[in-house]
């Protein structure tokens, strides 16, 4: 745990008793703060009381008497589409609003570091797609190379729940737009933007607000190194804003598909090969095609970003390549579930938006595509250029029929349930086919989260494969 500094003896309020809220409350208490909490749900309030925290209805203005700060969990809207009543009440009372990311950056460095031989570093990864894989891959490479490292943030472990830094340690944080948007302190040593595509637009009042939330990691943070995906205009704009000129190698450009040989420092992948260039000269390369844990161009972009980060941290190309070979991949992200009779079953339940699903579709030659769910803003037009590889779509979700109608020229089957979709796809698949779950939609119409949807896919694949063996 990282004890929060700066609030010893002060009253600090925590809104939301989810994973990050609980970790924040514990870390504040460890740092000497008097913690009061509130949760909109009765279950959260019961959990807080069981843990011994004082409950205080933070939606009421009087609740902020004597409160030094309000710490907000990332799932709670703080501005758009409307501020949570507790946040509005804190504003009215003049109480600073922060989140666990802000607390982490103000508390991570301690006087103990004066005795370290090598100062700990923080790598922060954000973007629309691939940030989990990029973060996990960086952590894996560091660990395989013998560097002490911890992984936290949006990937599942609260940032304040990690252990205090060791000598020379690297902390890798995956940060969502919700987290970067509100944090009052953002000071990573290395900051990464993987890519940008429309997502969470209601929380940011549109695409511009969404980009602005991501951009804060670089504009507010002032990282020593910035690794920027430049396959979209926003990335190109950000890289241009950060670099002082064509020779500025503090900004590393990353691409999947573009050849970037003129930049001061670039890492790009083309036709399955990663190349590193510095000042117009190639200094490293990796054949990514045989790395099972990183299939497809979208994962090659993730590999480029992770490679660039590890190079800025002093690792050599061959050490990075060796570690990539053993990378197992993340659950629900291009996860190979089964390979039976020449048919592969791949779980990409994390492909919750059109852009991430399009990237998944480009990774395989012939696809039995399981898709559908709670559609996001913008429709499915972004998928249309990438449907040539789809032999058939098996559509799930409450809006399955409407989803299917938006896939012109693709044979579709309205299945509604995962069990029927997997069973039918497995029965109709031919050797060489990939049965791919890449929903291009949120899961909340049928599941609590994308993990639960992916787990259901895995269960259904197991049943289908077992049935074929009988």
Residues annotated in the binding site, as ranges?
127-133
- What CA–CA distance (Å, rounded) separates 247 from 277? 13
Angle at 273 between CA 237 and CA 121, to 5 degrees: 55
- Tokens 């902020």 belong to 64
| Gap between the terminal Cα atoms of the chain | 50
Q: Give the DSSP H/E element, type plus range, for residue 49.
A: helix 42-50
Q: Give the DSSP H/E element, type plus range, for residue 251.
A: strand 251-256
Residue ranges of the binding site for ATP: 127-133
Upstream peptide bond of 307 is cis (omega within 30 degrees of 0): no
Are the C-beta atoms of residues 337 and 346 closer than 8 Å to each other?
A: yes
The pairing of strands 412-416 and 390-396 is: parallel
- What CA–CA distance (Å, rounded) separates 379 from 401? 14
From the list 129, 125, 126, the residue with the least C-alpha distance to 357 is: 129
Tokens of 251: 């900004």
User: How many helices and strands in the chain, by DSSP H and E?
Assistant: 15, 20
Tokens of 409: 């020229």
- The answer to whether the Cα torsion of 48, 184, 187, 283 is positive or negative is positive
Q: Give the DSSP H/E element, type plus range, for residue 177.
A: helix 177-182
Are the C-beta atoms of residues 407 and 357 closer than 8 Å to each other?
A: no
* Torsion-angle region of 375 (φ positive above 0: left; ψ -120 to 50: alpha; else: beta): beta
Cβ–Cβ contacts within 10 Å for residue 1, how many? 15
> Which DSSP symbol is given to 4?
P
- What CA–CA distance (Å, rounded) separates 345 from 433? 9
Cβ–Cβ contacts within 10 Å for residue 56, how many? 19
The pairing of strands 367-371 and 390-396 is: parallel
Tokens of 290: 């045989």
- What CA–CA distance (Å, rounded) separates 143 from 83? 40
């Amino acid at each position: 745990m990282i004890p929060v500094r700066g609030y010893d003896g002060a009253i600090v309020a925590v809104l939301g008793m989810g994973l990050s809220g609980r970790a924040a409350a514990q870390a504040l208490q460890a740092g000497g703060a008097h913690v009061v909490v509130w949760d909109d749900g009765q279950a959260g309030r019961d959990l807080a009381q069981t843990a011994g925290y004082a409950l205080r209805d933070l939606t009421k203005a009087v609740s902020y008497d004597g409160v030094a700060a309000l710490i907000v969990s990332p799932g709670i809207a703080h501005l758009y589409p409307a501020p949570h009543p507790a946040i509005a009440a804190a504003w009215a009372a003049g109480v600073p609003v922060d989140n666990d990311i802000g607390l982490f950056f103000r508390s991570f460095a301690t006087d103990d570091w004066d005795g370290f031989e090598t100062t700990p570093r923080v790598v922060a990864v954000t973007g629309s797609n691939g940030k989990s894989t990029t973060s996990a891959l960086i952590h894996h490479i560091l660990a395989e190379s013998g560097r002490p490292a911890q992984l936290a943030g949006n990937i599942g472990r609260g940032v304040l729940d990690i252990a205090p830094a060791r000598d020379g340690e690297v902390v890798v944080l995956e940060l969502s737009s919700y987290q970067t948007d509100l944090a009052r302190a953002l000071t990573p040593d290395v900051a990464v933007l993987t890519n940008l595509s429309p997502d969470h637009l209601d929380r940011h009042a549109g695409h511009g607000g969404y980009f602005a939330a991501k951009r804060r990691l670089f504009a507010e943070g002032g990282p020593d190194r910035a690794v920027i995906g430049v396959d979209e205009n926003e990335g190109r704009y950000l890289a241009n804003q950060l670099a002082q000129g064509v020779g500025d190698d503090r900004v590393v450009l990353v691409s999947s598909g573009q050849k970037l040989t003129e930049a001061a420092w670039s890492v790009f992948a083309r036709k399955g090969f990663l190349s590193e260039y510095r000042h117009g000269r190639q200094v490293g390369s990796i054949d990514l095609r045989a790395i099972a844990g990183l299939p497809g161009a979208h994962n090659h972009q993730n590999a480029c970003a992770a490679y660039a980060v590890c190079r800025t941290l002093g690792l050599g190309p061959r050490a990075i390549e060796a570690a990539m070979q053993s990378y197992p991949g993340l659950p629900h992200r291009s996860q190979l579930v089964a390979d039976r009779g020449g048919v592969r079953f791949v779980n990409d339940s994390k492909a919750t938006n059109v852009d991430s699903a399009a990237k998944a579709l480009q990774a395989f030659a012939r696809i039995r595509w399981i898709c559908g769910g709670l559609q996001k803003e913008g429709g499915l037009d972004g998928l249309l250029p990438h449907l040539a590889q789809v032999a058939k779509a098996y559509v799930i979700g409450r809006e399955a029929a409407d989803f299917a109608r938006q896939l012109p020229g693709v044979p579709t089957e309205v299945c509604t349930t995962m069990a029927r979709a997997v069973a039918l796809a497995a029965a109709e698949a031919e050797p060489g086919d990939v049965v791919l779950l890449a929903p291009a939609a949120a899961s909340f119409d049928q599941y609590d989260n994308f993990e639960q949807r992916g787990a259901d896919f895995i269960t259904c694949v197991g049943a289908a494969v077992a049935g074929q063996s009988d």
